Amino acid sequence: MRHYLTTAFLLFLIISQPATASDSSWDHWLKPVAPSLLDGSPWDSAAKRHGIDDHWLLFAVTLEESGRIDAETAVLRPWPFTLHRDKQKYTFPSKEEAQATIREWEAQGFRNYDIGPLQINRHWHGDHFDDLSDLLDVATAIDYAASIIADAHRRFGGDLIDATGRYRSWSNTRNAAEYAERIRIIRVQLPE
């Protein structure tokens, strides 16, 4: 996690012009960064471990799932301390505050909510983790997400971006395609 906070977390992607799906010019709305910026990061490690040849694709998924614009710096970056329940996104300034909310929701009997920078659903995937707050850790979350994407790629074929659609919706082809298109819009703006 420390590498993530000191490199990628602080240096990333300043917004200059929002892109929209209807924008046919595909103007870049993320300022360029060095292609090597993610080398050695959790995204790079997870990509290598799961046979995904594009760690920037995994970063694009992270931006889609938990990206937020820092009000002071105007930097778009993933935020690990993010939860989502009942169509409401919650971002916390610290891991401890997000953990406290997870404990509270669990005590109240909630089981269908998303956790961390990759918004991994507790209902569908929570049993894979001894401690749900582990999903607030970037390396843990991206490794698990990469395993899902790699499995989708093996099962459904297509390109890797198509497989990321299954990350959002495993069995609904239409929802998967819509999600894949959102990832494609982000990915085209990141380094090769």
Residue spans of alpha helices (H) in 40-172: 42-49, 55-66, 95-107, 122-125, 138-156, 160-168
176 domain-assigned: yes
Owning domain of residue 7: 2-187
85 domain-assigned: yes
Tokens coding 136: 């607030």
pLDDT in tens, 69-119: 877 888 788 999 999 999 999 999 999 999 999 999 999 999 999 999 999
158 domain-assigned: yes
Domain count, the chain: 1
* pLDDT score for 30: 58
Residue 152 contacts residue 167 (beta carbons within 8 Å): yes
Low-confidence ranges of the chain (pLDDT < 50): 1-29
53 domain-assigned: yes
* pLDDT score for 15: 34
* pLDDT score for 31: 62
Indicate the length of the chain as a whole number.
192
156 domain-assigned: yes
Q: Which residues pair with 89 in a beta bridge?
A: 84
The verdict on pTM exceeding 0.75 is yes
192 domain-assigned: no
Instruction: Quote the CA–CA distance of 130 and 116 in Å, as a whole number.
Output: 15
